[in-house]
Amino acid sequence: MSAQPKEQPRLNKQQQLFSRLANNSLIGIAIVQHNRFTFVNRQFAQLVGYERQELLRVEQVGLIFPNYPVIQSQINSEQPELQFEDQLVHFFGRKVDVEICLMRSQVDEADIDVWFVLDTSQRKQAERSAQIAALVYANTGEAIVVTDENGLIVDVNPAFTEITGYELSEIIGRSMNLLSSGRHNKAFYRKMWQQLRTTGRWQGDLWNKRKNGDEYAERLNISTSYNNDGSVYRRIGLFFDVTTHKEREESIWRQANYDHLTELPNRQLFQKRLQKAMQESDESGKAFALIFLDLDLFKDVNDTFGHDVGDLLLREAAKRLQACVRNDQDTVARIGGDEFTVIVTYVSNQGVVNRICEDILRKIAEPYYLGDDVAKVSVSIGITMYPEDASDAGELLKNADMAMYGAKDSGRNQYCYFIPAMSEAIQARMRFSESLQVAIEENQFVLYYQPIVDMRTGQVVKYEALIRWEHPELGLVPPSEYIPFAEDTGLIVGIGNWVFNAVLKQAKQWSLEGREQLISLNVSPAQFYADGVSAEEWIKQVKEAGVPTQLIIIEITERLLLDNNPIITKILTALRDAGFRIALDDFGTGFSSLTYLKRYPIDIIKIDQSFVRNLAPDSEDLALCEAMIVMAKKLGLEVIAEGVEGPQQEALLLEAGCTLGQGYLYSRPVPAHDLDRWLRERNLNPSKSKTNDPITTGPLPTKV
């Protein structure tokens, strides 16, 4: 930079100006001569991370600007200036993005190059980020939707199109409402917007609708980008499809809360609904009714038609129940095999509940057409009211259950409201059940025997075994007090098996004493249905005991034959084929007696006491007895008259052609050892056999 001496002051001024400009410039400036820096400004030094002095000492500018030698060769007099983007090498070795303007000029015949360098690294970085963002935007599996400050769609990515089915062109400028499935209520969206406005963010699961109308679940994450003044610029929604996940969740939830057979809420969901009903009732002050339902004798349906048909019936019954209530507010649940509950909410008066129950009774009792079978059931219903009867859920359920038992005890097929006295009755029932259980375990039963005699001679032809319970506190409990109960509860199986074994033992004992004695034992229908009677097992046991099967008579009642169940016929036939004999007890009290006699393998009929009790000449009972005796004889059956208490009955029966009798006239039921004494006395005093002097030594059955 030499100049004419006279121009010296001006040049100095120019130089000063240049220096000032150069050092305050935002642009890096370097002057290069012979491959070395002869001037660098502060910006340039900063840009490449050196001190200015250090740069002036650098021997090869190529160290800082590796492409310089190539660029340099492109500059000539025709093209003294070049502008391009390139990279410089920073002191720490990293590359710095720059835009360079290179100007060549001649000073003292030497080439000098002036570099004007603009740092573009930040801009470049931003560009690269944007590129990556665009790449992600286009390729991510997550759907992205951008809306403007008014919630109108500005942009969507391909994943959005894939999930929703909408192309950007179809949806741009539209509101997101377009996707709304209608599954969420206003409150849901109100809450979402409230949060968005206050925090700018929202996160959650949402059901929306695809273009093809299918609903889908998305896990959505919304964030907001703001303008400088704090107003909303954009909202960005990111979501992915969680439909299968949701569906699986829902299916798990359904499995946990619904009964798979009837699709009604199960016990667990019922408990939740009950809690909710209590809470709502507390808030509204309106009562609700908890109804407990148990199908009557449903077990018989299962036993008669099989479990598949039983299941069909349950499903149908569930539908009928549901038809009796208001679907949107009342709950019908299945809480056990044939047990259902109904919650009737907002009950203003009992009439509403009564009407529902009457409706249920009627609908449940209608016939069920199940494949080829037609079944009928009834239902027993117990009702308890909240908050009147109890304040906690467990108590309520217990009340309703008790009331249901009340309905059963009063003859089933009816409804019954809970009253506090029930709770005592039920407790007594529970205690009774427990003590009966103990009776089985601790062998508190004994068998009494009542002779059946040939009324012509007074000779004993067989004995009927009758069970007695020697209760440690209550004394002798008559069977009428616990047999029906045992039948209801299934305890009859244990009792029945005990009776059978006790009879076998007695028969064996007698045959060891050389007495071949016929013994008749009572078998309850409930034993057959509860798998308590296995023909093979009984035959086997009798054989093992060394007792001829011909000595055992099985007394059944018409109740067993009512259902016309092939399984019963099979068991009876098997027993009879093996040598057992079958007696039809309480004959005349049932329905179509004659049909049974022809259809089933029956050897003996026992005329019920109710006909014998009031036998008198020319009485209607006598006519009935005569008819039964004639009929039995025609069919080749043996006839036994029960409840013979006096000589007049005996005489009339004999006259009518009935030779076998059983009753207090001959003997009350007594323990086996008392029988021996009775027989001895009769043998010592043969006239006694016709004196009709009953033995009275045995304890009499206590009557209730």
| Binding footprint of ligand C2E on the chain (CB under 6 A) | 450, 466-467, 478-480, 483, 496, 499, 522-524, 585-586, 609, 643-645, 662-664, 669, 701
What is the closest distance, in whole angstroms, from the C-beta atom of residue 521 to Ca ion in the complex? Answer: 8
User: Which parts of 401-460 interact with Ca ion (CB under 5 A)?
Assistant: none
Single out the residue of 585, 638, 650, 674 in contact with Ca ion (rule: CB under 5 A).
Answer: 585
What is the closest distance, in whole angstroms, from the C-beta atom of residue 288 to ligand C2E in the complex? Answer: 43
Q: Which is nearer to ligand C2E, 338 or 585 (CB)?
A: 585
Residue 605: which H helix or E strand, with range?
strand 604-607
Q: Which is nearer to Ca ion, 382 or 669 (CB)?
A: 669
- 212: which 2 tokens? 């093809």
DSSP H helices in 177-297: 186-199, 243-257, 267-284
User: Phi-psi region for residue 255, left (φ > 0), alpha (ψ -120 to 50) or beta?
Assistant: alpha
- The CA distance from 392 to 107, in Å, is 105
From the CB of residue 290, how many other CB atoms can be counted at a distance below 10 Å? 28
- Residue 620, classified by CB atoms within 10 Å of its CB into exposed (0-12), middle (13-18) or buried (19+), is exposed
Q: Which is nearer to ligand C2E, 145 or 554 (CB)?
A: 554
Choices 180-188, 260-268, 542-550, 552-560 (CB under 5 A): range interacting with Ca ion: 552-560
Residue 524's binding partner out of ligand C2E, Ca ion, none, with CB under 5 to 8 Å set by partner kind: ligand C2E
From the CB of residue 517, how many other CB atoms can be counted at a distance below 10 Å? 18
- The CA distance from 621 to 589, in Å, is 12
- 221: which 2 tokens? 């994450």
Site string for Ca ion, 623-642 (x = CB under 5 A): -------------------x
- Residue 29, classified by CB atoms within 10 Å of its CB into exposed (0-12), middle (13-18) or buried (19+), is buried
Instruction: State how beta strands 153-156 and 143-147 pair.
Output: antiparallel
Provide CB contacts within 8 A for 380, sequence distance 6+: 293, 294, 296, 404, 405, 407, 408, 412, 413, 414, 415, 416
Q: Which is nearer to ligand C2E, 340 or 449 (CB)?
A: 449
- Please calculate the CA angle 583-482-441 and round it to the nearest 5 degrees: 100
Report whether 573 contacts 533 (CB < 8 A): no
What is the closest distance, in whole angstroms, from the C-beta atom of residue 542 to ligand C2E in the complex? Answer: 17
Q: Which is nearer to ligand C2E, 385 or 533 (CB)?
A: 533
Tallying the residues shown for the chain, one arrives at: 704
What is the closest distance, in whole angstroms, from the C-beta atom of residue 610 to Ca ion in the complex? Answer: 10
- The CA distance from 181 to 668, in Å, is 81
Residue 331's binding partner out of ligand C2E, Ca ion, none, with CB under 5 to 8 Å set by partner kind: none
- The CA distance from 33 to 313, in Å, is 105
Report whether 218 contacts 242 (CB < 8 A): yes
Single out the residue of 401, 586, 638, 650 in contact with Ca ion (rule: CB under 5 A).
Answer: 586
Give the Å distances, CA to CA, from 564 to 300, 385, 540, 591: 12, 42, 26, 13
What is the closest distance, in whole angstroms, from the C-beta atom of residue 477 to ligand C2E in the complex? Answer: 10
Give the Å distances, CA to CA, from 178 to 152, 159, 207, 469, 619: 11, 17, 12, 78, 90
Residue 603's binding partner out of Ca ion, ligand C2E, none, with CB under 5 to 8 Å set by partner kind: none
Q: Which is nearer to ligand C2E, 237 or 588 (CB)?
A: 588
Residue 551's binding partner out of Ca ion, ligand C2E, none, with CB under 5 to 8 Å set by partner kind: none
Grouping H, G, I as helix, E, B as strand and the rest as coil, residue 305 is: helix
Q: Which is nearer to Ca ion, 401 or 642 (CB)?
A: 642
- Residues in contact with Ca ion, counted by CB under 5 A, come to a total of 5
Residue 302's binding partner out of ligand C2E, Ca ion, none, with CB under 5 to 8 Å set by partner kind: none
Report whether 659 contacts 455 (CB < 8 A): yes
Q: Which is nearer to ligand C2E, 265 or 588 (CB)?
A: 588
What is the closest distance, in whole angstroms, from the C-beta atom of residue 513 to Ca ion in the complex? Answer: 25
Q: Which is nearer to ligand C2E, 635 or 700 (CB)?
A: 700
Residue 220's binding partner out of ligand C2E, Ca ion, none, with CB under 5 to 8 Å set by partner kind: none
Nearest in space to 115 (alpha carbons), one of 39, 19, 24: 39
What is the closest distance, in whole angstroms, from the C-beta atom of residue 479 to ligand C2E in the complex? Answer: 3
Single out the residue of 555, 621, 638, 650 in contact with Ca ion (rule: CB under 5 A).
Answer: 555
Choices 79-87, 212-220, 394-402, 584-592 (CB under 5 A): range interacting with Ca ion: 584-592
Q: Which is nearer to Ca ion, 310 or 698 (CB)?
A: 698
Residue 480's binding partner out of ligand C2E, Ca ion, none, with CB under 5 to 8 Å set by partner kind: ligand C2E
What is the closest distance, in whole angstroms, from the C-beta atom of residue 529 to ligand C2E in the complex? Answer: 13
Report whether 470 contacts 444 (CB < 8 A): yes
Instruction: State how beta strands 552-556 and 518-522 pair.
Output: parallel
Beta bridge partners of 667: 695
Q: Which is nearer to Ca ion, 406 or 698 (CB)?
A: 698
Site string for Ca ion, 506-525 (x = CB under 5 A): ----------------x---
Report the residue number whose CB is nearest to ligand C2E: 663
User: Which parts of 637-696 interact with Ca ion (CB under 5 A)?
Assistant: 642
What is the closest distance, in whole angstroms, from the C-beta atom of residue 643 to Ca ion in the complex? Answer: 8
Q: Which is nearer to Ca ion, 241 or 555 (CB)?
A: 555
Q: Which is nearer to ligand C2E, 237 or 532 (CB)?
A: 532
Q: Which is nearer to ligand C2E, 303 or 330 (CB)?
A: 303
Grouping H, G, I as helix, E, B as strand and the rest as coil, residue 381 is: strand
Residue 479's binding partner out of Ca ion, ligand C2E, none, with CB under 5 to 8 Å set by partner kind: ligand C2E
Give the Å distances, CA to CA, from 674 to 155, 422, 535, 661, 671: 104, 42, 32, 20, 5
- The CA distance from 504 to 546, in Å, is 9
113 binds Ca ion (CB under 5 A): no
What is the closest distance, in whole angstroms, from the C-beta atom of residue 599 to ligand C2E in the complex? Answer: 22
Residue 643's binding partner out of ligand C2E, Ca ion, none, with CB under 5 to 8 Å set by partner kind: ligand C2E
List interacting residues with Ca ion (CB under 5 A).
522, 555, 585-586, 642
